[in-house]
Amino acid sequence: MKKLLVTGGAGFIGGNFVYYMLENYPDIQLVCLDALTYAGNLETLKGAFKNPNFKFVKGDITDRKLVFELFEEEDFDCIVNFAAESHVDRSIEAPEVFLKTNILGTQVLLDACNKFGTERFHQVSTDEVYGDLPLDRPDLMFTEETPIHTSSPYSASKASADLLALAYNRTFGTPVTISRCSNNYGPYQFPEKLIPLMIANATHGKPLPVYGEGLNVRDWLYVEDHCRAIALIIEKGKIGEVYNIGGHNEKANIEVVKTIISVLGKDESLITYVKDRPGHDRRYAIDPAKIHAELGWLPQTKFDDGIERTIKWYMDNTSWWENIFNGKYKSYTAEMFE
């Protein structure tokens, strides 16, 4: 890889991936394309802007003219597509936004890869395309052969993008790989998601809203482990293949919330149970046997270690998430693009 395009790199996982690649591949030229919608935060990339091998472009992956001009100018070797609307609750409120970005945006990128002969297109997907698993069958896990069975407009849009990418591989020979990960956690996660929201609310003594009884189970993957897996896939993964990336850290939501409360020294009276959301998946669990067997990857971060590291980061960087709550992060973006 000489020149890499990372779409959605001002978001949570994309931003962490930018830092991972710049640190571990010092000779790489990295371009980040991000539309800077509500969850895109240029403050996340402050450190990257100091690196001469990093370049930022503000733009939407659905803008065909902009994307094609960027591909022609930069001659990318590899594309890693993180750009996506990703919050399930928002997809229930406004499905059309998810369909546009997650499906049509992916199509634009695939078309650009075909036109300009890009050597690798990697689609970052989610375990949510598989639907859910029963709580009383801990032996069951998602594999790459598990049928797609989506539960929300968000997961349906991601599954559609996956199928489109695989169809492009079969029809046009587009050099596609796909990864489907479990729930990520770590630095720079937008504080509408469970872990950063609980940290922020608990810090200020605010209620901690938990859906239903908090018994829904997720497999938690520390974001740096995820970044390492993607780097391996784009280097050594087989074209046309899907790789599941799991953390081997299954936790009920209420257990995660109580862990955060304990680490912060707060009281469980802050927990507030709220009405469950429609179509809430019960359990996710990924079997990463394929990526382990083929590429030698295994998660390195245990949840207890990762959650303490994550909480410490949020406590050491309170201005980052407070600027999101008070809207100042948007002012920073506006100043950058005046």
The radius of gyration computed from the CA coordinates of the chain, to the nearest angstrom, equals: 19
| Parallel/antiparallel/unpaired status of strands 217-222 and 250-252 | antiparallel
Is residue 128 flagged as an active site residue?
Answer: yes
Residue in 19, 130, 154, 284 annotated catalytic: 154
Q: What angle do CA 41, 122, 324 make, to 5 degrees?
A: 10
Greatest alpha-carbon span in the chain? 57
Residue in 43, 85, 127, 162 annotated catalytic: 127
Q: d(Cα 338, Cα 335) in Å, to the nearest integer? A: 5
- DSSP code string of 307-327: HHHHHHHHHHTHHHHHHHHTT
Q: What angle do CA 292, 239, 23 make, to 5 degrees?
A: 60
Residue in 85, 128, 132, 281 annotated catalytic: 128
Asked whether 47 and 21 are in contact (CB, 8 A), the reply is no
Instruction: Give the dihedral sign, CA 317/323/324/325.
Output: positive
Using alpha carbons, list the distances in angstroms from residue 231 to 17, 98, 199, 224. 9, 26, 29, 11
Is residue 154 flagged as an active site residue?
Answer: yes
Q: d(Cα 155, Cα 226) in Å, to the nearest integer? A: 19
Please count the other Cβ atoms lying within 10 Å of the Cβ belonging to residue 154.
25
Q: What angle do CA 261, 225, 315 make, to 5 degrees?
A: 35
Is residue 281 flagged as an active site residue?
Answer: no
Catalytic residues, which ones?
A: 127-128, 154
